[in-house]
Structure 1
Amino acid sequence: MGIPRALLVLCIATAFLSLGPRGSLGRSHLHKRQQSHGRRGNGGHRLQSPVDSPADPPAAGTSTTVTPSNSSSDSSVFDVRSFGAVGDGVTDDTEAFRSAWRAACSVESATLSVPSDGVFMITSTIFPGPCQPGLVFQVDGVVMPPDGPQCWPKSDSKHQWLVFYQLEGMTLRGEGTIEGNGEDWWSLPCKPHRGPHGSTLPGSCDSPVLIRFFMSCNLTVRDLRIENSPQFHIKFDACEDVHIEGLSINSPAFSPNTDGVHIENTRSVTIYNSMISNGDDCISIGPGCSDVDIQNVTCGPGHGISIGSLGMHNSEACVSNVSVKNAVIRNSDNGVRIKTWQGGMGSVSDISFDTVYMENVRNCIIIDQYYCSNKGYCQNQSSAVYVSGVTYANIKGTYDVRSPPMHFACSDTLPCTNITMSEVELLPHEGELVDDPFCWNAYGVMRTVTIPPIPCLQDGQPESLQEIPNLGC
């Protein structure tokens, strides 16, 4: 029996209408951002957002209200545009990000999504916890602060921009860029070498750390591009269980105080498979750090991988169990460095630098217990941070002949001990071989012949160090 024509037409129309809305509200996809995102074209002035206030955060367990172009049927995805963010690089999107954070924070396994087709300007902001487990901050577009100190809101902190506070189990990731707009900060008169003969000039010197994690644990930061920070690019303070992987950090060699990754009072850290070029330390490890594993990191230009500076203002500093393996350091002022202030207390122990390739590095291997950021203004002091148990194995490459490739300047009263050298082969990048490494009060052993030789490294233990002092670690 044939179906009557009128009934057939009615069935087809009904099916079409039932499929239409579902297709238009399908799950959105996060696309890789376009390569060109540019700078704001209005000279740094911010415009008031055309949205009077962000949308009310959705209640936990309900779907997010979205526009068709950024739609998602997943109730755990919170797109900042759904909360009023514009993403034109000019409008202040701060309140939209804060609202999206509050909503995502209250939902388990939620994602705060920064879409790939936007450039979002936000001011200094704290993203607080505690939050529900599994929170992801997904940056696929561009996120940036105001353009320099002149555009920085007077009520905002100039010490930090984005702060993630009291979080557990959070991930910061994405295919986008966190752009620091740091150029005008680097030019402040107080910055190093702005004055005559390498000096600094009077004036305010506050410059924000771009990203700071504070008092948090079980953190993952991966696959992001972070660039042109006013000061440190990313800092971990009083944190535990930190995993960093696949980061690309990029600032010019002349940008001052722009450490790539800085950690302090933080333990159980892994930094893997990342590339860092900047104007200061590639990775800096401050006081209170332990169990740090760095692998497959490429640094340069910059100031290399540094432990310190430690013991400033007669403080106590303890760093232990740090491993650097399979690293490349190119066109850098320093290679692998330990630096401490006179007058400090504490210790640096169980440090391993294994399989590090140097290319045109000025100070390839350096321990400096006479560190002073303002040469000529530091008084000699008797106490020091005790440095012991440092291994250099398979360190090869080329050095800048302006400085000896190895430099061990240890405390008069507390010598460096248990330094081990094995398979260290460093040749001049250009020019003649510099075969006079510097040693002062440094004790250790050479497992193999080194290039250049290090006859100044003393055998055994110093007689003056009858027992290890009370280090407080």
Structure 2
Amino acid sequence: MGSSSNLLKVCLSMLVFAWIANAHNIPGVYNVMHYGAVADGKFDCANAFLSAWTEACACSGSATILIPQGTFLSSAVSFKGPCKSALVFQIIGKVVAPVDLLGDNWICFEYVKGLTLTGGGTFDGQGSIAWSKQISLGFSKFPVNIRFNYCTDAIIQGISSINSKLFHIDVLGCKNIKFIAINVSAPKTSVSTDGIRIGMSTGITVSSSFIGTGDNCIFLGPGSQNIYITKILFGAGHGITIGSLGSLEKEEAVHGITVRNCTFTGTENGIRIERWHSSIFSFASNMIFEDLIMNHVKHPILIDEPYCPLGLCTFAVPTLVKISDVIFKNIRGTCTSELAVKFMCSLHNPCVGVQFNDIDLMNMGSGRPALALCSYVKSILSGNIFPSTCF
């Protein structure tokens, strides 16, 4: 029985290998190797990638762009739509960025509808040298690992983004995108390596994934609406940040954020909302944070007021940023600072409709309940609340 089983596995493996090796003979499969790509990690394959994409994008039937096993170097490349049909971009191997690559983008998908990005492969930004140069050269000089600009109805599943030079994944102006079972990682000491940044987008789901970075794990900027985040393991980084609210003229609201069944381990923050001390009107509303575990998190719940990282704010002007209708439910675990909850709102614009239900956060060092600091919060309490020092 054992020999038959092993023989079957060998046969299946040979079939898969043969399929990949001869993918150019299969209708609708566009193997980058047959457009000039070389899997040696040295030859720049950007033109080969783009050639495969261009031909697949023009195909009226089903089409799969295949990056097979191996390591492929690629400079910046933009995959643009619209295409004649929905495309599958299957990356099995590893794509690496040049160490000295500069610019806004590395891998970019634009105006594409119905994209599926999958395959279990990896995008490696090779960012370690860039992190040491960002202060001297400026953050804007370095590219994002993967951008999605104005894409709709996409599924991003089973891929990894590692060691980005700047942000890992940036989502702008998109609708109905699902990120499922992805891995996003960079060392805790890396600079500005946000995991997923979302802005001006609606209907975005992030689920069943690991995100650990040197900055915000997930950043939800203005215009983020109907966002669903669930079953995420957060490692190093700054947790989930919503903001920075009130920093842009005529910025769109953040609305309809749901975060459920996530675990934060060793992050700087759990849930953070940044409000600039600003005369610009902005608001965030209808947010639910539920069933969250905090393991050794410095600040599990943090609402900054005022947020002024550059020291250029005019504090005589009352902030016009409004936070309303927020639910914190069943959040428990340990924090590494005495201040587990900081919820700072303003006299001129208090936070309203804030509900706390079953909060249990302990100071890791003493084993005692940690502290909470609040101002101008109109809250509704239910269940057990620890710490309760400001409610």
1:352 paired residue number: 288
2:5 paired residue number: none
Q: Determine the C-alpha separation between the residues in 2 that align with 1:420 and 1:246.
A: 31
What are the ranges of 5 or more consecutive residues in structure 1 without an aligned counterpart?
1-26, 32-65, 191-201, 458-473
Contact 2:213 2:235 in 1 (8 A): yes
Q: Determine the C-alpha separation between the residues in 1 that align with 2:357 and 2:344.
A: 20
Q: In structure 2, do the counterparts of structure 1 residues 277 and 418 end up closer, same or farther at CA, with 3 Å as the change threshold?
A: same
Contact 1:314 1:342 in 2 (8 A): no
Partner amino acid for 1:420? Q
- Of 190, 194, 212, the residue aligned with 1:259 is 194
Contact 1:286 1:307 in 2 (8 A): yes
1:136 paired residue number: 88
1:109 has 2:66 as partner: no
1:167 paired residue number: 112
Match of 2:129, SS state, is helix
Q: Determine the C-alpha separation between the residues in 1 that align with 2:77 and 2:370.
A: 52
Contact 1:28 1:70 in 2 (8 A): no
1:430 paired residue number: 365
Contact 2:276 2:319 in 1 (8 A): no
1:412 has 2:373 as partner: no
Superposed displacement of residue 72, structure 1: 4.3
Superposed displacement of residue 434, structure 1: 5.5
Superposed displacement of residue 377, structure 1: 3.5
2:374 paired residue number: 439
1:329 has 2:264 as partner: yes
Superposed displacement of residue 372, structure 1: 2.2
Q: Determine the C-alpha separation between the residues in 1 that align with 2:66 and 2:25.
A: 14
Q: In structure 2, do the counterparts of structure 1 residues 440 and 317 end up closer, same or farther at CA, with 3 Å as the change threshold?
A: farther
2:75 paired residue number: 123
What are the ranges of 5 or more consecutive residues in structure 2 without an aligned counterpart?
1-13
Q: In structure 2, do the counterparts of structure 1 residues 315 and 88 end up closer, same or farther at CA, with 3 Å as the change threshold?
A: same
Match of 2:215, SS state, is coil
Contact 1:209 1:229 in 2 (8 A): yes
Cα deviation, 1:355-377, whole Å, max 9, x if unaligned, reads 00000001101111311233x33
- Of 29, 47, 58, the residue aligned with 2:16 is 29
- Structure with more strand by fraction: 2
Q: Determine the C-alpha separation between the residues in 2 that align with 1:30 and 1:338.
A: 49
1:273 paired residue number: 208
Contact 1:266 1:289 in 2 (8 A): yes
Partner amino acid for 1:79? N
Partner amino acid for 2:254? V
1:395 has 2:331 as partner: yes
1:338 paired residue number: 273
1:48 paired residue number: none
Superposed displacement of residue 134, structure 1: 2.1
1:372 paired residue number: 308
Match of 1:262, SS state, is strand
Match of 2:192, SS state, is coil
Match of 1:348, SS state, is strand
Superposed displacement of residue 281, structure 1: 1.2
> Taking structure 2 as the reference length, what is the TM-score of the superposition?
0.91
Q: In structure 2, do the counterparts of structure 1 residues 30 and 114 end up closer, same or farther at CA, with 3 Å as the change threshold?
A: farther
Contact 2:255 2:285 in 1 (8 A): yes
Q: What is the identity percentage for the equivalent residue pairs of Structure 1 and Structure 2? A: 32
Contact 1:127 1:165 in 2 (8 A): yes
Q: Determine the C-alpha separation between the residues in 1 that align with 2:192 and 2:345.
A: 25
Count of residue pairs the alignment pairs up: 374
Superposed displacement of residue 76, structure 1: 0.3
Q: Determine the C-alpha separation between the residues in 2 that align with 1:161 and 1:341.
A: 31
Superposed displacement of residue 142, structure 1: 0.5
Match of 1:184, SS state, is helix
Larger radius of gyration: 1
1:204 has 2:138 as partner: yes
Superposed displacement of residue 432, structure 1: 5.5
Cα deviation, 1:370-409, whole Å, max 9, x if unaligned, reads 11233x33332323221001100000000012x4000011
Match of 2:253, SS state, is strand
Contact 2:217 2:240 in 1 (8 A): yes
Partner amino acid for 2:57? C
Contact 2:342 2:374 in 1 (8 A): yes
Match of 1:269, SS state, is strand
Q: Give the aligned CA root-mean-square deviation in angstroms.
A: 1.9
1:320 paired residue number: 255
Partner amino acid for 1:368? D
Q: In structure 2, do the counterparts of structure 1 residues 428 and 87 end up closer, same or farther at CA, with 3 Å as the change threshold?
A: same
Superposed displacement of residue 308, structure 1: 1.3
Contact 2:223 2:251 in 1 (8 A): no
Q: In structure 2, do the counterparts of structure 1 residues 269 and 189 end up closer, same or farther at CA, with 3 Å as the change threshold?
A: closer
Partner amino acid for 1:29? V
Partner amino acid for 1:175? G
Match of 1:370, SS state, is strand
Moved over 6 A (4+): none
Q: In structure 2, do the counterparts of structure 1 residues 255 and 30 end up closer, same or farther at CA, with 3 Å as the change threshold?
A: farther
1:10 paired residue number: none
- Of 60, 81, 91, the residue aligned with 2:43 is 91
Higher mean Cα deviation, 204-213 or 293-302?
A: 204-213
- Of 146, 150, 154, the residue aligned with 1:219 is 154
Cα deviation, 1:233-274, whole Å, max 9, x if unaligned, reads 111100000111000111001111111111100001111100
Partner amino acid for 2:66? S
- Of 115, 120, 132, the residue aligned with 1:187 is 132
